Structure 1
Amino acid sequence: MHRFSRLKAVLIWVLVVVAVVVAAPNLLSDGQRSKLPAWLAHSHVALGPDVQGGSHLLFQIERADIVKERLERTVADIRGKLRESNIRYTGLTGNDQDVTVKITDAGQVEAAINALSALTASRKSGWFGGSIQNVTLERGTDGQLTLRISKDSIDEGIAAAQAQSLEVVERRIAGLGINDYSVRADGRDRIDVKALGSIDVERLKNILNEPAQLSVRMIDESMSGQQALAGRWPATSEVLYSLDDPPIPYLVDRTDFVTGKNLVDVQAVVDAQTNTVAISYKLDSEGAEHLAQKTRQNIGRHLAVLFDDQVMAAPMINAPILDGTGTVPVSFSEDGAHDLALMLRAGALPATLTTVEERTVSTALGAESKRAGLVAGFVAALLVIGLMFAFYRKLGIITGISLALSLVLILAVLSAIGATLTLPGIAGIVLIIGMAVDANVLVYERIREEAKAGHSFADAIDNGFSRAFLTILDANVTIIIAAVILYYLGSDTVRGFAVTLAAGILTTVFTTFTLTRWIVVTWLHRKHPRHLPRDVQTGIFDRANIRFMGIRRYTFTVSAALSILAMVGFATVGANLGVDFAGGSHVEVKAKQGSADPNDIRARLGDLNIGDIEARRLADASTALVRIQAQGGGENAEQSAMTLLRDELANDYEIRSVEVVGPAVSGELTRAATLGLLGSLAVILLYIWLRFEWQFAIGAIIATLHDIILTLGLFVLTGMEFNLTSVAAILTIVGYSLNDTVVVYDRMRENLKRYRKMPLPILIDASINQTLSRTVLTAATTLLALLALCLFGGEVIRPFAFVMLFGVAVGTFSSIYIAAPVLIAFKLRPDAVDSDQNKKVAEPGTNSGNPAV
């Protein structure tokens, strides 16, 4: 196809213009975007917390609170049903999900069971008519009845609590004045919160953790709280403690007559003269009526104002409160009173929200990371385009134009889908700059081969694009599969990388076969070149006649020995697991004055009794990384340790970034990473199995395992932290290595059909030599991009870039010296054909890239 139809050309450039328009709002400020049409104003890439600063918090609804609520409700329902039926009972108690009661009169047991039948009845639930039984009943001896709250009922309560909590959390965050935030459900019992910009994360967590359930009851003054603890108190009352330090016990009636639902308005009131703090309130008509009735009947007694089942205040009733308004003095600071009022205005949470994961980045560090990523991308683009120009000259310039348009398309795609750009996402774009030229190199080298074979230059261009298509498709499918698996690992930062990687691969392949082809064809018809430009320098690889398979036994032996050492090291020494997999806290701090002192940090934090402390100085002498081991005391223990660290170091250090991962999340991330690695390998290798012979799949498996094992050995050797970003690096290495392997395999498959009698080792050497220019150039451009990322990408992303540098080198090696020799070991050809390996073979049509034997 020597020509592009005018319609196709117009469509291509219309798409480019649309992409430019969609991507353009990313260059505008928020104020400028607000003036654009609504459909375009929202077309921009959102920046993640690690790029612009902010917090990403994951909260879990406390199952114990839901169980307690259901238990108390069930006990109250049983008491009410039995009293309505005049059935005498004793020993009504609840524990966990079981409630026991003893019917005093054995003759009333059947009547009691009938009275409680409403509690044990099944009901339909869901779209498909499934049934749920909230409570099951078991009959024991001597009139004993046991009622068990079902798991389905608890799960239903958790789902309802999650839905209610989403609204409350949004109101509380909005009440803090945070404008850029998102709140969404995560799984069945979690809430995912992102708050961007400069925020007080400790204050935010404290406000979102508290249920803030307010209620008003009467103090039971039949005895004091201390007397109640020393003896027995009435069943209609319970002992609760005050918020004081030390707490004071109160005997409080169990019945609420005003709750937080009755509040119309709540404000914090500070008296500057007396330096006292109070909460002013206004009730709705129902609450005002109940309060008026109770205060009218109980003048001289004390109210109990409860906050999350603790006595916040116990004012005496001096006169009836008839209008439903008033103030309650509280022993809070001014800020604490304002936060309390905010929580009460936003409404109560149905259960405690426990912070199970926190990832916070200061705005200063976010700005530094973004700037470092942009510099790395700019340097990578210059290096890659410079290398392509050095080898291809005019065609290299076309590659540069194609790369620039690919980046615009990537930005347009990310803007259109509303993607969030994280720091690993920026690293993914830089990596794509290095990998994007792969398709162009494959096409150019095919054109060169076709021209050398005697075809006209126009036919060579046509055949080059056509014959490179399947190779490019096969090679890039492996990376797309790796990106899809990465997306489902569960971490937003890794998802950001996966999205940019997938978008980059898709757009660069599209650009190669549309824009690049149009530019090449247009150049062909305007300049009418009759042969390949003489300034193309990749012909230097044509003279390569390297006998790769001649040393396969040595390379195999060395690789096997290194792999065994890596596995032994991983099994004995183990990797230095980061907080993603081991739990605990990872903090970057910056000294407010002078240099960071790791020894001082370790000494100060060591006195807090929070376990082993690791601290090391970074390249910037004023900054240090601090690692706190997993606390082993549940989810709250991790946050408590982090609070102690903040309090201890706040005067001397700025907290630049925080990662806190609780045991539940770290366990899930470990399982997800393991399944992700295994799943991606299985899917990728199944694809290769379907596209090639089974020996090729076995070769790809062994080469891939070789790359993974040596990369794990690098972590053992260097002691670098192994975290989710490391898993992303490994999966990308797998995709890249298989990309390289598939290109070599594809050429072998062609040569197997063309040279049916050529000995397999000679054929493999010929295939590798024929694709050597592509292998060298793609590896070189990818390594240059990663080198730029490593040198200029900043401290946070440097470990990822270093691992990728190692992985790309190892992956290139394994494509030649592992994947290819396996085909010989597994007898891709029968022995009868390969037995003549030492005879010289010269077949018609052999190119200079094929070694003559």
Structure 2
Amino acid sequence: MLQIDAWKRWLIWLTVVVGLLLALPNLFYGRVEIHNDAVKAIEAGDDTSENRAAEAEWPSFLPSGLVNLGLDLRGGAHLLARVQTADVYKARMESLWPEVRDLLRDERDTVGTIRWNSEAVDRGELRVRLSKPEGMQRAIEVVRGLAQPVVTLTGAGASDILVRGEGDELVVTLSEAEKQATDDRTLQQSLEIIRRRIDEVGTREPTIQRQGADRILIQVPGIGSAAELKAIIGTTAQLTFQPVVGRTTNENDAPGPGNELLPSLDEKGLYYVLEQTPVVTGEELTNAQPTFDQNGRPAVSFNFNPSGARKFGDYTAANIGSPFAIVLDDEVISAPVIQSHIGGGAGIITGNFTVEESTNLAVLLRAGALPAGLEFLEERTIGPELGQDSIEAGKLATGVAFVAVLGFMVASYGLFGVFANIALILNVALMFGLLSLIGATLTLPGIAGIVLTVGMAVDANVLIFERIREELKTARGPARAIELGYEKALSAIVDANITTFITAVILYVMGSGPVRGFAVTLGFGIITSVFTAIFVTRLLIVTWFERRRPKTIEV
């Protein structure tokens, strides 16, 4: 018999109502967006009357999830950056030098005096010349004692450094397994730091993902320009505290082995000779906040972790009266003279900052230092006007598809076509409800997926209605024809949609960016269209049939 249990009917309508409630906030996009921003601000501690008023823009008992607009719809900035992993190799060799130096000094009777080739670190090599080449084997054995195992599945059993002799030079390099592990760590660390820096600014739904071996794709909707985005993430913010050897006004002066020559940020034409090995680095910072110094000028206060605090305190206690340089991205911000022991791991960075500069510097330091520099290979700025044009074009395409499909279904199947059209409208609403539930980002390809879903959604109904037509020819009666129509069309509907859904999953797994956006809307569209075709239209037809009890029907 043509009937549906009462509990199934309630479950179907409950699912539809929940989906409509989840999709509802998208009809009031601006108000809900203001409400959500105010809620985040209040949760972050900014509980002001303005935020409370903004929070009241949308009832708290209703869902507030939105389908986020992607870069091509909202406008914003797009960057493709290459991570300079060679910088990490150089830093590793520079940090290894003090340990190698101390070990070889203990073997001075065997290896003689040593001299470091500071230029070789630019190539990712540590080269040390021995005055007694006959002691090379002993030097190799000693330095190999610094090797550590590579902590990756692919590099299991390998050492992180390779040590060899070339004439009278001891050469230390990173092994291939360690380079691969270092590249992976550097990319992951860069991704996380870029994400934290962008989150600090408060942008919505940025896309930050790895591409290939050494590239990062960054798309941030709603930001002003690519230059503004580069200003946020492009600075490595490498903060170091280094001993001062001397000062000079000649940028061509040789700094000497183990030293480097860096310019002063404030005093043009002044250069500092610094020891290359820092006492403390920005990696040991735990916090940084914009503040003002004792003269009321903008500054940045900072705190070290216990390890950094101990090293900072020990150095300042042992070097009272000596200058100490604060270096940010290879420029000396200031070089104050240590007046007394600085314990507790707290300090302040002063300079000719504006309030905005001190705030940005605090954001960069708080988010952490990028482990390597970024080379920007591609940058685009998409204006909000272009994004609005894309939205209008998407609305037009969806509207045309809707009208064409609705008209075709009514012309072809009459009243049953009207039932299919009601299910189609509910289908699109349910799809937006699912997208809102997971906080998905809608892009132009995503709109294409919705338009495609509109066309595909009635496909299942077409199969069902054609089967009902065939069954009506056998004169089994309208109730039995409708029941057999749904039963016999089910296998074809399931097969067709499963294969399409598998395609959507493959697109999502293998694709990136816009391809994923298309796959998400296509996949959700398949789920909602099968639900509305098999359950919603059937419930509508059964309800109508029970009320009218027609002797004959025309499909």
Q: Which position in structure 1 is the counterpart of 2:339?
A: 320
Change over 3 Å in CA distance of 1:492–1:130 after alignment to 2: same
Is 1:216–1:258's contact at 8 Å kept on the other side of the alignment? yes
Could you tell me how far 1:129 is from its partner in structure 2?
9.6
Deviations 1:102-123, CA, capped at 9 Å, x for gaps: 44335533432331132235x2
Is 1:225–1:239's contact at 8 Å kept on the other side of the alignment? no
Q: 1:300-339 maps to which residues of 2 (within 5 A)?
A: 304-313=325-334, 315=335, 317=337, 320=339, 328-330=350-352, 335-336=356-357, 338-339=359-360
- C-alpha distance in 2 between matches for 1:399 and 1:179: 41
Q: Please point out which of 124, 139, 151 is paired with 1:112.
A: 139
Q: Which position in structure 1 is the counterpart of 2:261?
A: 239
Deviations 1:253-272, CA, capped at 9 Å, x for gaps: 32423543458645476999
- C-alpha distance in 1 between matches for 2:184 and 2:61: 34
- C-alpha distance in 2 between matches for 1:396 and 1:320: 87
Change over 3 Å in CA distance of 1:171–1:402 after alignment to 2: closer
Could you tell me how far 1:200 is from its partner in structure 2?
4.6
Is 1:66–1:154's contact at 8 Å kept on the other side of the alignment? no
Could you tell me how far 1:134 is from its partner in structure 2?
0.4
Q: Which position in structure 1 is the counterpart of 2:321?
A: 297
Partner-residue secondary structure (3-state), 1:26: helix
Q: Which position in structure 1 is the counterpart of 2:441?
A: 420
- Residue identity opposite 2:139 in structure 1: A
Is 1:262–1:287's contact at 8 Å kept on the other side of the alignment? no
TM-score, structure 2 as length reference: 0.79
Deviations 1:385-441, CA, capped at 9 Å, x for gaps: 122212222111111111112112212222333322222212321232233222212
- C-alpha distance in 2 between matches for 1:472 and 1:146: 67
Change over 3 Å in CA distance of 1:253–1:467 after alignment to 2: same
Root-mean-square deviation over aligned CA pairs: 3.9
Q: Please point out which of 519, 526, 532 is paired with 2:547.
A: 526
Residue 205 of structure 1 pairs with residue 224 of structure 2:
no
Q: Which position in structure 2 is the counterpart of 1:99?
A: 126
Q: 1:157-196 maps to which residues of 2 (within 5 A)?
A: 157-176=182-201, 178-182=202-206, 186=210, 193-196=218-221
- C-alpha distance in 2 between matches for 1:171 and 1:485: 30
Residue 458 of structure 1 pairs with residue 485 of structure 2:
no
Q: Which position in structure 2 is the counterpart of 1:67?
A: 89
Q: Which position in structure 1 is the counterpart of 2:47?
A: none
Could you tell me how far 1:527 is from its partner in structure 2?
2.4
Residue 386 of structure 1 pairs with residue 407 of structure 2:
yes
Partner-residue secondary structure (3-state), 2:261: strand
Deviations 1:9-31, CA, capped at 9 Å, x for gaps: 33322322332233334345146
Q: 1:474-489 maps to which residues of 2 (within 5 A)?
A: 474-489=495-510
- C-alpha distance in 2 between matches for 1:13 and 1:264: 52
Q: Which position in structure 2 is the counterpart of 1:85?
A: 107
- Residue identity opposite 1:459 in structure 2: R
Q: Which position in structure 2 is the counterpart of 1:777?
A: none
Q: Please point out which of 518, 521, 537 is paired with 1:516.
A: 537
- Residue identity opposite 2:482 in structure 1: I
- Residue identity opposite 1:504 in structure 2: G
Listed as ranges, the gaps of 5+ residues in structure 1 are: 537-853
- Residue identity opposite 1:138 in structure 2: R
Q: Please point out which of 67, 75, 100 is paired with 1:53.
A: 75
- C-alpha distance in 1 between matches for 2:126 and 2:264: 28
Q: Which position in structure 2 is the counterpart of 1:217?
A: 242
Could you tell me how far 1:135 is from its partner in structure 2?
0.8
Change over 3 Å in CA distance of 1:267–1:495 after alignment to 2: same
- Residue identity opposite 1:18 in structure 2: V
Partner-residue secondary structure (3-state), 1:350: coil
Deviations 1:86-105, CA, capped at 9 Å, x for gaps: 34254543352433334433
Is 1:448–1:532's contact at 8 Å kept on the other side of the alignment? no
Q: Please point out which of 168, 171, 183 is paired with 1:146.
A: 171
Partner-residue secondary structure (3-state), 1:130: coil
Deviations 1:343-385, CA, capped at 9 Å, x for gaps: 2344322222344555543334334433443344334323321
- C-alpha distance in 1 between matches for 2:465 and 2:67: 33
Is 1:119–1:134's contact at 8 Å kept on the other side of the alignment? no
Change over 3 Å in CA distance of 1:161–1:26 after alignment to 2: same
Q: 1:654-665 maps to which residues of 2 (within 5 A)?
A: none
Is 2:223–2:229's contact at 8 Å kept on the other side of the alignment? no
- C-alpha distance in 1 between matches for 2:134 and 2:205: 62
Change over 3 Å in CA distance of 1:163–1:31 after alignment to 2: same
- Residue identity opposite 2:6 in structure 1: R
Is 2:88–2:372's contact at 8 Å kept on the other side of the alignment? yes
Could you tell me how far 1:32 is from its partner in structure 2?
5.8
Change over 3 Å in CA distance of 1:173–1:8 after alignment to 2: closer
Residue 8 of structure 1 pairs with residue 8 of structure 2:
yes
Partner-residue secondary structure (3-state), 1:435: helix
Q: Which position in structure 2 is the counterpart of 1:133?
A: 159
Deviations 1:212-249, CA, capped at 9 Å, x for gaps: 112233443387645634xxx53132233456999766
Is 2:81–2:215's contact at 8 Å kept on the other side of the alignment? yes
Residue 252 of structure 1 pairs with residue 271 of structure 2:
no
Is 2:225–2:381's contact at 8 Å kept on the other side of the alignment? no
Is 1:120–1:137's contact at 8 Å kept on the other side of the alignment? no
Change over 3 Å in CA distance of 1:220–1:144 after alignment to 2: closer
Based on CA coordinates, which of the two structures has the bigger radius of gyration?
1
- C-alpha distance in 2 between matches for 1:262 and 1:474: 58
Is 1:102–1:144's contact at 8 Å kept on the other side of the alignment? yes
Residue 349 of structure 1 pairs with residue 370 of structure 2:
yes
Partner-residue secondary structure (3-state), 1:434: helix
- Residue identity opposite 1:71 in structure 2: M
Partner-residue secondary structure (3-state), 1:491: coil
Q: Which position in structure 2 is the counterpart of 1:799?
A: none
Listed as ranges, the gaps of 5+ residues in structure 2 are: 40-54
- C-alpha distance in 2 between matches for 1:405 and 1:169: 40
Is 2:300–2:361's contact at 8 Å kept on the other side of the alignment? no
Change over 3 Å in CA distance of 1:51–1:335 after alignment to 2: same
- C-alpha distance in 2 between matches for 1:39 and 1:485: 38
Is 1:242–1:248's contact at 8 Å kept on the other side of the alignment? yes
Could you tell me how far 1:504 is from its partner in structure 2?
1.3
Change over 3 Å in CA distance of 1:244–1:146 after alignment to 2: same
TM-score, structure 1 as length reference: 0.54
Q: Which position in structure 2 is the counterpart of 1:409?
A: 430
Partner-residue secondary structure (3-state), 1:306: strand
Change over 3 Å in CA distance of 1:272–1:428 after alignment to 2: farther
Deviations 1:610-660, CA, capped at 9 Å, x for gaps: xxxxxxxxxxxxxxxxxxxxxxxxxxxxxxxxxxxxxxxxxxxxxxxxxxx
- C-alpha distance in 1 between matches for 2:355 and 2:376: 25
- C-alpha distance in 2 between matches for 1:322 and 1:461: 89
Q: Which position in structure 1 is the counterpart of 2:382?
A: 361
Is 2:245–2:274's contact at 8 Å kept on the other side of the alignment? yes
Q: Which position in structure 1 is the counterpart of 2:51?
A: none
- C-alpha distance in 1 between matches for 2:435 and 2:147: 52
- C-alpha distance in 1 between matches for 2:101 and 2:144: 14
Is 2:114–2:131's contact at 8 Å kept on the other side of the alignment? yes
Is 2:78–2:379's contact at 8 Å kept on the other side of the alignment? yes
- Residue identity opposite 2:440 in structure 1: A
Change over 3 Å in CA distance of 1:256–1:171 after alignment to 2: same
